[in-house]
Amino acid sequence: MNQRTRIKICGIGREADVQAAVDAGADAIGFVFYPKSPRRLTLARAAELARLLPPFVAPVGLFVNATATEIAAALESIPSLLLQFHGDETPALCARFKRPYLKAARMAAGFDLLDFARQFAGAQAVLLDAHVEAYGGSGKVFDWSLIPSGVSRPVVLSGGLHAGNVIQGIRRVRPWAVDVSSGVESSPGVKDAAATRRFCEAVREADALIAAAEA
């Protein structure tokens, strides 16, 4: 069965970037609430941008070891917010809010993704990123051969993606979705509309190539 790979553009901070992502066909927009990130937004600013989203484009909040109070405040400010956890959050903490969530896995040799997915069985998906010292999005490509078959949750491929490598990534991994941030930027937190469009076009090209190969 043919599948359309979903697209999330993360690290959005400007009205123009929201519009460019929507126009390019993004399914989700990511707002970063990690204080140490150059893309970090206040709740008030994120709520302003979320109000620009049309139906069926989801706002996603990225958190790194945030307190329950901070997460609850974000959900109050943006009621439709999906949660994305990028730190050391436990399954219990992720499930506490009774909201759909993604859990990031920091991929490295020896990491047991199958066990990780079992631990976070309540997650809508596991987001695969490179293992680096800092938390949040890495902007680095990891070795896709580390991804085992039989992962029990849908996979979101992330980590250093851009228009030049996302076709290869989708054909290799067959993820449910892809997540991009720095790969469509002119500077941290400033998206490039043309790069965003090229990225989304490349995702559609990958889907078309897979469909043709399976026909």
Active-site residues, by number, are 10, 129
- Contacts of residue 106, defined as CB under 8 A and 6 or more positions apart, other chains included, come to 129, 130, 131, 132, 138
- The rounded distance, in Å, linking the Cα atoms of 26 and 34 is 22
- Find out whether 12 and 184 touch, Cβ atoms under 8 Å: no
Q: Note the Cα 18 to chain centre separation in Å.
A: 15
Q: Note the Cα 202 to chain centre separation in Å.
A: 17
Q: Exposed/middle/buried for 110, CB within 10 Å: 0-12, 13-18, 19+?
A: exposed
- The rounded distance, in Å, linking the Cα atoms of 21 and 10 is 10
- Find out whether 62 and 32 touch, Cβ atoms under 8 Å: yes
Q: What DSSP line would sit under 142-206, residue for residue?
A: --GGGPPS--SS-EEE-SS--TTTHHHHHHHH--SEEEESGGGEEETTEE-HHHHHHHHHHHHHH
